[in-house]
A and B are shown apart, each in its own frame.
Chain A
Amino acid sequence: SRRQRNPYHFSSNRFQTYYRNRNGQIRVLERFNQRTNRLENLQNYRIIEFQSKPNTLILPKHSDADFILVVLNGRATITIVNPDKRQVYNLEQGDALRLPAGTTSYILNPDDNQNLRVAKLAIPINNPGKLYDFYPSTTKDQQSYFSGFSKNTLEATFNTRYEEIERVLLGDDELQENEKQRRGQEQSHQDEGVIVRVSKKQI
């Protein structure tokens, strides 16, 4: 169709699912300069959209990109964690928030019924048009960035035996399994991935 050939028209199938589980999904629009060099001046901007179900949380992370996010639908509780303080914002439809590069944050959908839909403009700081998410936690879908460090470094850093660090932070599968059985839990957050269900009490 004519629309398909229009390089300025990005239909919703131009999004690529970056992450999806039963609690929500994160999608990234293709690079603006991929289809036409007439949009080359937009090469360092990316559009990200995410949706999350009621009473779910997107786990803490930071990215090597500046963000401006806009709540398209629903309600969001966004917590920004800095080295010395923590700020919590309750956002509604139409609210916008700048998330500086490298700040750790997590996003909760506190609503009982309504899905949350957010659009983000990303401005990467290291590589033009490319950004990465860094999660301190381990789930079935990604490893904690702490797992990148050597055993010696982790032991010296946390002043703790590696087995303990592994159990608490790095989520070694076998150990976690034993832990779960010990506590009689049916499912841990680790099994869910990076968008997890949270209880009313936790909200």
Chain B
Amino acid sequence: PYESGPFNLRSNKPIYSNKFGNFYEITPDRNPQAQDLDISLTFIEINEGALLLPHYNSKAIFVVVVDEGEGNYELVGIRDQQRQQDE
């Protein structure tokens, strides 16, 4: 049965939580509407002066929207090498 209606990103316990911030996430396997679109919804609170440690997502492409406050973001990619030059 298709489930509809609103849901709250902070209704479940945060996946990561400590005195420096909270990381809430609704994943496709937990919500039929998210599953339908194959997306996750993430809500992250980072206290001033705190750092979300370097990490990567295996397969998800993230779109980040700053709702409130400001922060620095560092992204690391690989420089285009030989493999791409020949294409």
Residue B76 CB within 8 A of the other chain: yes
Query: Nearest chain-A residue to B53 (Cβ)?
Result: A157
> Cβ of B87 and Cβ of A31 under 8 Å apart?
yes
Selected from B58, B78, B83, B86, the residue in CB contact (under 8 A) with A103 is B58
Q: A148-B76, A148-B77 are in contact. Are A101 and B83 (CB under 8 A)?
A: no
Which residues from chain A contact B51 at a C-beta distance below 8 Å? 153, 156-157
- Known interface pairs A102-B59, A125-B59, A146-B54. Does A34 touch B78 (Cβ–Cβ under 8 Å)? no
B87 in contact with A34 (CB, 8 Å) = yes
Contact of A133 among B56, B78, B87 (CB under 8 A): B78
Interface flag for B74 (CB, 8 Å): yes
- Evaluate contact between B54 and A150: CB separation under 8 angstroms: no
Q: Determine if B84 is an interface residue (Cβ-Cβ < 8 Å).
A: yes
Does the CB pair A101–B58 fall under 8 Å?
yes
Q: Is A162 an interface residue (CB 8 A)?
A: no
For chain B residues 16-49, which have a beta carbon within 8 Å of chain A?
none
How far apart sit A34 and B84, CA to CA, in the bound complex (Å)? 13
**Bound complex: CA A63 to CA B57 (Å):** 11
Instruction: Provide the residues of chain B in CB contact with A103, threshold 8 Å.
Output: 58
The answer to whether the Cβ of A28 comes within 8 Å of any Cβ in the partner chain is: yes
In the complex, chain A residues 122-136 whose Cβ is within 8 Å of any chain B Cβ:
125-126, 130, 132-134
The answer to whether the Cβ of B61 comes within 8 Å of any Cβ in the partner chain is: yes
- Contact residues, B68-87 vs A (CB, 8 A): 74-78, 82-84, 86-87
Interface: A8 (CB within 8 A): no
User: Which residues does A use to contact B, with CB under 8 Å?
Assistant: 16, 18, 28, 31, 34, 62, 66, 100-103, 125-126, 130, 132-134, 145-146, 148-150, 153, 156-157
- Smallest CB-CB A-B distances: 10 pairs: A102-B58, A148-B76, A132-B78, A101-B59, A156-B51, A145-B76, A149-B74, A157-B53, A18-B83, A125-B59
Q: List 20 A-B contacts (CB under 8 A).
A: A16-B83, A18-B82, A34-B87, A100-B58, A100-B59, A101-B58, A101-B59, A125-B61, A130-B84, A130-B87, A133-B78, A145-B76, A145-B78, A146-B54, A148-B75, A148-B77, A149-B54, A149-B74, A157-B51, A157-B54
Q: Could you list 15 further interchain pairs (A-B, Cβ under 8 angstroms) beyond the known A145-B76, A153-B74?
A: A16-B83, A31-B87, A62-B58, A101-B58, A125-B61, A126-B61, A130-B84, A132-B78, A134-B56, A134-B78, A146-B54, A146-B76, A148-B77, A149-B74, A157-B54
